[in-house]
Amino acid sequence: MESIIAELKQELVVTCKMYENRCQELEEKARESKAHLVEKTKEVEFLLADSKKKIKELEENSKLKFKNWENKGLKLKVLADAADNYHKVLAENQRLYNEVQELKGNIRVYCRIRPFLPGQNQKSTTIDYIGESGELLIVNPSKQGKDGHRMFKFNKVFDQAASQAEIFSDIQPLIRSVLDGYNVCIFAYGQTGSGKTYTMSGPITASMEDWGVNYRALNDLFGISENRRNSFFYEVGVQMVEIYNEQVRDLLVDDGPQKRYPLCMSSTQPNGLAVPDASVHPVKSTSDVLQLMHVGQTNRAVGSTALNERSSRSHSILTVHVRGVDLKTGSTSRGCLHLIDLAGSERVERSEATGDRLKEAQHINKSLSALGDVIFALAQKNTHVPYRNSKLTQVLQSSLGGQAKTLMFVQINPDVESYSETISTLKFAERVSGVELGAARSNKDGRDVKDLLEQVAFLKDTVARKDEEIEQLQMVIDLRTRSPMLNNDRNAMLIHSSSPGIPCLVGTARLGPQLSSARLVISTDKAPSEPDNSFQFSENHCMANGGDKDQKLQADAYLVGFRDVDLEDKLSEISDSVISVGTETDGSVSSSTEFGVFPESSKPVQMSKGKM
Ligand code: ADP
Ligand code: MG
């Protein structure tokens, strides 16, 4: 029994021990769990705080974004409104832009001086000074220190170094006008070899850098029409005709010269085509144009003269027709760009032409003269403009005058051999540019500089001239004292010797003093009622009477005591004055056609010599 009790006690102790151990284990576990739970709670609390923070951030973010969207929405609305007004703004822009062009003058004359060619003597040049505002001072190499200088003024003068890109940048705005429905004529005028073709087309194997006005203009048209493609649709078509011996021919027929025929003209075509029978070729890219021009240039009539074998004896007219459709309103506009490489303006003797060549030269002279008359009449805002006097002016009629813009490149050779042609060319240009009325005047603010420079040149010459005049007067007085009868007859002959087209001197016996004193009275014997055939008039004089009269003048002059050279000086001086009111010569009285380039003013004109 006792052993059982002892055994039970033992067992109880063991069980107690086990129980205690178990309790300890459980307590341990409970502690661990609690610690773990505390840890977890902390973690969760941290996560909760973090989440709360993120929610707050997100809330703020979304508020910000919402605000941004609100702003963007506003901007979008502004844009939408602007898009609505775009057409109105564009139209206004085009209107203002063209007004600016008009303020610059609808007739502009730019002079470009060709660089010396390889082998030319660069030292002997006729170019003395080129001003920033279009002044050009020409020096006569054979009259150093005397009447050796003459000043001209144009809208701009480009010197020998001017690049093709520079030339184009100045006319680029005019090209834009064509897309806005305006008509534009760009001419190159000058003697053969002065760079007309170079300016208009560029050299034959031209890289893009050397491209002339033609290619650049078309390239530009395609560029601008591409930029406006969302608002406008443009169609571009090209015609190329030449005027040779007063006949208009299509240059873009590909089966040779046989198919070239004289074409009729129309000024009433609704599509604006002045030569409706000439083929119109749609073009979409500059490479299309390059191909067409190659055909045109191959077909162009060229003749051979002593002056330049490749001299072009025809006017070539590249016409670019542009039709624009406003995609929003559906309205259409038509603009026309004429790019004209004129035939050489040199006078007939210089190229020693006879027969067919003489006929070509007469036709060229007639049409250039008519062109000068038309631009002159337009610049003077005459009610009658003599378009009908040549095919050239007929073809271009709708694009000369009115809202149309005209730009003439006057090309000059810098070498001394070309002096008289240079003067002749510049006088033509001066006539068409110098008289422009209205807005274009504001473009000529360099006038004072011109006047001053001219006065300087004039004063330099005056001393030498005075001496000579005294000497000449002395000779006339001597002659008078020796033979009074002869003297009277000579005066009469000189007064009556003026033929159509040659200015007559009033009171020739007082020629010397009049030239040096304040006023010089010049008149022509052309009837005031003479119609627009002024060239015909001049040509008749040149071909039929010119030689005789000139000889008579020289003979008369010899009798009153002027040497040939003196007479030439005097006539040159007189002609120079007359030129600025409508006739031209370089002072060489033996030139037979030079008077034909400009018609004389129909009224006697008084010039103030002192103002020179
Ligand atoms: P035109 O057409 O007036 O008869 P061209 O354009 O044929 O004259 O020019 C005569 C020559 O002078 C050509 O060999 C031409 O390449 C060159 N020439 C003309 N102008 C320039 C210029 N600005 N720069 C370089 N060469 C020129
Ligand atoms: Mg040429």
In tens, the pLDDT along 397-417 reads 888 887 788 999 999 999 999
Closest to 234 measured CA to CA, from 315, 286, 180, 291: 180
Q: Cα separation of 510 and 476, whole Å?
A: 10
Lowest mean pLDDT among 289-293, 296-300, 309-313, 574-578: 574-578
More confident residue, 609 or 242: 242
pLDDT for 297: 77
- In angstroms, how far is the first alpha carbon of the chain from the final one? 165
Whether residue 276 has pLDDT greater than 60: yes
Which ligand neighbours the alpha carbon of 191 most closely? 1
d(CA 156, CA 422): 17
Rounded Cα gap, residues 183 and 335, in angstroms? 5
- Residue 550's pLDDT band (cuts 50, 70, 90): very low
Spatial distance between the Cα atoms of 27 and 579, rounded to a whole number of angstroms: 130
Exposed, middle or buried by CB within 10 Å (0-12, 13-18, 19+), for 281? middle
Pairing, β 156-158 against β 107-113: parallel
Tokens of 122: 């660069």
Q: How many CB atoms lie within 10 A of CB 398?
A: 20
Question: What pLDDT digit, counting tens, does each position of 87-131 carry?
Answer: 666 666 666 666 666 555 688 899 999 999 988 877 789 999 999
Protein residue with its CA nearest to atom 17 in ligand 1 = 195
CA distance 411 to 197: 10
Kindly indicate the confidence band of residue 601, based on its pLDDT and cuts at 50, 70 and 90. very low
Q: Ligand 1, residue 341: give the atom nearest the CA.
A: 2
Rounded CA separation 407/342 (Å): 13
Amino acid type, 215: Y
Question: 296: pLDDT confidence band, cut at 50, 70 and 90?
Answer: confident
pLDDT tens per residue, range 136-153: 999 988 876 657 889 999
Which runs of consecutive H residues, i.e. helices, occur in 138-250? 164-179, 196-200, 213-227
Q: Which two tokens stand for residue 78?
A: 């502004």
Q: Provide the pLDDT for residue 471.
A: 74
Confidence of residue 265 (pLDDT cuts 50, 70, 90): low
Average of per-residue pLDDT values in the chain: 71
Quote the ligand 1 centre to 190 CA distance (angstroms): 11
Other CB atoms closer than 10 Å to residue 416's CB: what's the count? 16
The predicted pLDDT at position 484 comes to 52
> What pLDDT score was predicted for residue 564?
34
Distance of CA 281 to the CA centre of its chain: 25
pLDDT category at 262 given cuts 50, 70, 90 is low
* 196 Cβ closer than 6 Å to some ligand 1 atom: yes
Which pLDDT band, with edges at 50, 70 and 90, does 289 fall under? confident
| Measured distance CA(612)–CA(604) in Å, rounded | 19
Give the chain's length.
Answer: 612
Greatest mean pLDDT among 319-328, 498-507, 522-531 lies in 319-328
Tell me: pLDDT of 441 over 90. Answer: no
Residue 261 pLDDT > 80: no
Rounded Cα distance between 411 and 110, Å, is: 9
Residue 93: its pLDDT value, please? 67
Which residues make up each annotated binding site? 190-197
CA dihedral 258, 260, 264, 268 (to 10 degrees): 140
Establish whether residue 418 lines the binding site of ligand 1, counting it when its CB lies within 6 angstroms of any ligand atom: no
Q: Which atom of ligand 1 sits closest to the CA of residue 308?
A: 4
**Which of 110, 113, 114, 213 is the best mutation target for the ligand 1 pocket, counting ligand atoms within 8 Å of the beta carbon and taking the most?**
114
Higher pLDDT, 262 or 279: 279
How, if at all, do strands 183-189 and 332-341 pair? parallel
Tokens found for residue 559: 């009798």
CA separation for the pair 107, 120 (Å, rounded): 34
Residue 363 and residue 243: Cα distance in Å, rounded?
10
Split at pLDDT 50, 70, 90, the class of 236 is very high
Q: Does residue 365 surpass a pLDDT of 70?
A: yes
pLDDT at 237: 93
Q: Is the CB of 409 under 6 A from ligand 1?
A: no
The model carries a pTM of 0.60
Bridge partners (DSSP) listed for residue 336: 183, 321
The verdict on the CB of residue 101 being under 6 Å from ligand 1 is no
- Looking at all shown ligands, the one closest to residue 415's CA atom is 1
What own/partner pairs with CB < 8 Å and gap ≥ 24 does 226-232 have?
A: 228/179, 230/327, 231/86, 231/87, 231/90, 231/326, 231/327, 231/328, 232/179, 232/324, 232/325, 232/326, 232/327
Which atom of ligand 1 sits closest to the CA of residue 192?
Answer: 4
